[in-house]
């Protein structure tokens, strides 16, 4: 049985208090907390076998190389990749998407080519394409959003044409929680010969994700949102697709032969990993993947669907609260953006923090989506495998207290709120 309360015990940080009350950590879409097994993997590497990879012939270097490559193999298995050569280790999702824009986009895209995005993208899947559009005259187009918070596919035929070279779409919105029909989009994109990049920053940590099932060519995600350390991300690519990319950063590790005036390049995946990689964090990311695999991603998803249903029900009882995104927990992840009438989301976040509840407030790096929703910002609670119903109860009670605080403050000031 999936027991979030037992699982929590493996996360030392969840024991701590803030402002004299127990921490209720509901900012998992920003970054997750780390279990002891991940902290141990980091310490173990630095304590026992710290060495550079792929170049030494001494024991420590061999152990470090084996552990680094074993982490890559675990990542490959976790996302159903055919082999480790398609798993490029980057700094994060942002760098993974930029790698596609630089190494593929700058080589292959020309004026008149189109890249199809959506209105619910994180800035990291918008800005790299803005840079490319400005340089190469590429046209950017966007799938809109329905009032319920789903992608509006009614004009897909008009948006997706033989001019479309890339469809790049988030699998799960970091604001609305919407889980997008990536498989269908990939099929449609492939029919017109476009490549498909999926931003899996929010989905890979929370859902079973299999690249063959999704039918995508490329998938980007970050270790730090899935129990692993910061500083490691992944760009998965079908090897046939990655072979068409130009090298990204040049330097050591990514070469085969270097002459004074030219170089030849290493095979996949090393061609795209110039310089000393983030060895310790990649190895600890492998430990995070073991932790998730041990629990089972189906179970993680089931827990979050139950929590999200519970939270949507409980939050809908709070007067004056607007909740954004799909109402059906089967079609969304455990990310709930909301606004409380008359209270700025930043004030709301600050007051919730006083009560121990950590949420994010702001535009969530999705300004175009905020405009579509007609708000400058929202508050956002986001869950993970260690989140409990009791914590959601604390969120709801705290929101009631904030309301009381503002209503009373308003009354004291002699005005209605
Ligand atoms: N794509 C999505 C859908 C995201 O949610 C995020 C981070 C990124 C890309 C970028 O990931 P990074 O690891 O490269 O930074 N999202 C958030 C968030 O919602 N709050 O803080 C970070």
What is the predicted pLDDT for the residue at 387?
Answer: 98
* Residue pLDDT, tens place only, 24-69: 999 999 999 999 999 999 999 999 999 999 987 999 999 999 999 9
Asked if residue 27 has its Cβ within 6 Å of ligand 1, the reply is no
Asked if residue 28 has its Cβ within 6 Å of ligand 1, the reply is no
> Ligand 1 pocket check: which of 222, 233, 235 to mutate, most ligand atoms within 8 Å of Cβ?
222
Q: What are the b/e assignments for 329-355, b being 16+ CB within 10 Å?
A: bebbbbbbbbbbeebebebbbebbbeb
The residue whose CA is least distant from atom 11 of ligand 1 is 93
Measure 122 CA to ligand 1 centroid, in angstroms. Answer: 7
- Name 305's Cβ contacts closer than 8 Å, sequence gap at least 6: 329, 330
The residue whose CA is least distant from atom 18 of ligand 1 is 30
Q: Which are the catalytic amino acids?
A: 365
Rounded CA-CA distance 49/207 in Å is: 33
Asked if residue 219 has its Cβ within 6 Å of ligand 1, the reply is no
E strand intervals along 75-175: 87-90, 114-118, 139-143, 164-170
Measure 120 CA to ligand 1 centroid, in angstroms. Answer: 12
What is the predicted pLDDT for the residue at 414?
Answer: 66
Are the C-beta atoms of residues 336 and 382 closer than 8 Å to each other? yes
Measure 87 CA to ligand 1 centroid, in angstroms. Answer: 19
N-terminal to C-terminal alpha carbon distance within the chain: 46
Rounded CA-CA distance 324/173 in Å is: 11
What is the predicted pLDDT for the residue at 417?
Answer: 46
Phi, psi torsion values for 235, nearest 5 degrees: -115, 110
What is the predicted pLDDT for the residue at 415?
Answer: 58
What number does the ligand 1 atom closest to the CA of 96 have? Answer: 14
Rounded CA-CA distance 202/13 in Å is: 22
Asked if residue 380 has its Cβ within 6 Å of ligand 1, the reply is no
Asked if residue 201 has its Cβ within 6 Å of ligand 1, the reply is yes
Rounded CA-CA distance 93/203 in Å is: 12
Q: Give the angle subtended at the CA of 20 by the CAs of 15 and 25, to the nearest 5°.
A: 45
Domains of the chain and CATH, by start: 4-29+296-416 (3.90.1150.10), 38-294 (3.40.640.10)
Residues of the chain with pLDDT under 70: 414-417
Are the C-beta atoms of residues 115 and 138 closer than 8 Å to each other? yes
Rounded CA-CA distance 290/284 in Å is: 10
What number does the ligand 1 atom closest to the CA of 360 have? Answer: 20
pTM of the model: 0.97
Are the C-beta atoms of residues 364 and 337 closer than 8 Å to each other? yes
Mind giving me the DSSP string for 214-234?
A: HT-SEEEEEGGGTTS-TT-EE
Rounded CA-CA distance 206/209 in Å is: 9
E strand intervals along 266-330: 321-323
The residue whose CA is least distant from atom 17 of ligand 1 is 30
Asked if residue 122 has its Cβ within 6 Å of ligand 1, the reply is yes
């Amino acid at each position: 049985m999936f027991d979030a309360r037992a699982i929590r015990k493996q996360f030392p940080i969840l024991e701590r208090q803030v402002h004299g009350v127990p921490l209720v950590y509901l900012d998992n879409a920003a970054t997750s907390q780390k279990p002891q097994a991940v902290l141990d993997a980091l310490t173990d590497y630095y304590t026992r076998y710290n060495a550079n990879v792929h170049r030494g012939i001494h024991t420590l270097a061999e152990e470090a190389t084996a552990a680094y490559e074993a982490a890559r193999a675990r990542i490959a298995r976790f996302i159903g990749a055919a082999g480790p050569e398609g798993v490029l280790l980057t700094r994060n999702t942002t760098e993974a998407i930029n790698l596609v824009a630089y190494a593929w986009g700058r080589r292959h895209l020309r004026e008149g080519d189109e890249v199809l995005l959506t209105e619910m993208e994180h800035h990291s899947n918008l800005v790299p394409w803005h840079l490319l559009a400005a340089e190469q005259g590429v046209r950017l187009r966007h799938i809109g959003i329905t009032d319920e918070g789903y992608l509006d596919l009614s004009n897909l035929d008009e948006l997706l044409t033989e001019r479309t070279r890339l469809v790049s779409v988030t699998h799960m919105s970091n604001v609305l929680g919407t889980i997008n029909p990536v498989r269908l989009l990939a099929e449609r994109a492939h029919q017109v010969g476009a490549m498909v990049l999926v931003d899996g920053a929010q989905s890979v940590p929370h859902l079973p994700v299999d690249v063959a099932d999704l039918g995508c060519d490329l998938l980007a995600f970050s270790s730090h949102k899935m129990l692993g350390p910061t500083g490691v991300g992944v760009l998965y690519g079908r090897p046939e697709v990655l072979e068409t990319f130009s090298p990204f950063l040049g330097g050591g590790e990514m070469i085969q032969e270097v002459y004074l005036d030219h170089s030849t390049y290493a095979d996949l995946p090393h061609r795209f990993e110039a310089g000393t990689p983030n060895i310790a964090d990649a190895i600890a990311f492998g430990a995070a993947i073991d932790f998730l695999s041990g629990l089972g991603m189906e179970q993680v998803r089931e827990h979050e669907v139950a929590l999200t249903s519970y939270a949507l029900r409980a939050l809908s009882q709070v007067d004056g609260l607007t909740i954004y995104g799909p109402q059906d927990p089967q079609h969304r992840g455990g990310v709930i953006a909301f606004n409380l009438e008359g209270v700025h989301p930043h004030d709301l976040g600050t007051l919730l923090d006083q009560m121990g509840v950590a949420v994010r407030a702001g535009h969530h790096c999705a300004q175009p989506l905020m405009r579509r929703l007609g708000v400058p910002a929202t508050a956002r609670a986001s869950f993970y495998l260690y989140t409990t119903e009791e914590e959601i109860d604390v969120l709801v009670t705290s929101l009631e207290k904030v309301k009381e605080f503002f209503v009373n403050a308003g009354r004291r000031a002699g005005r209605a709120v």
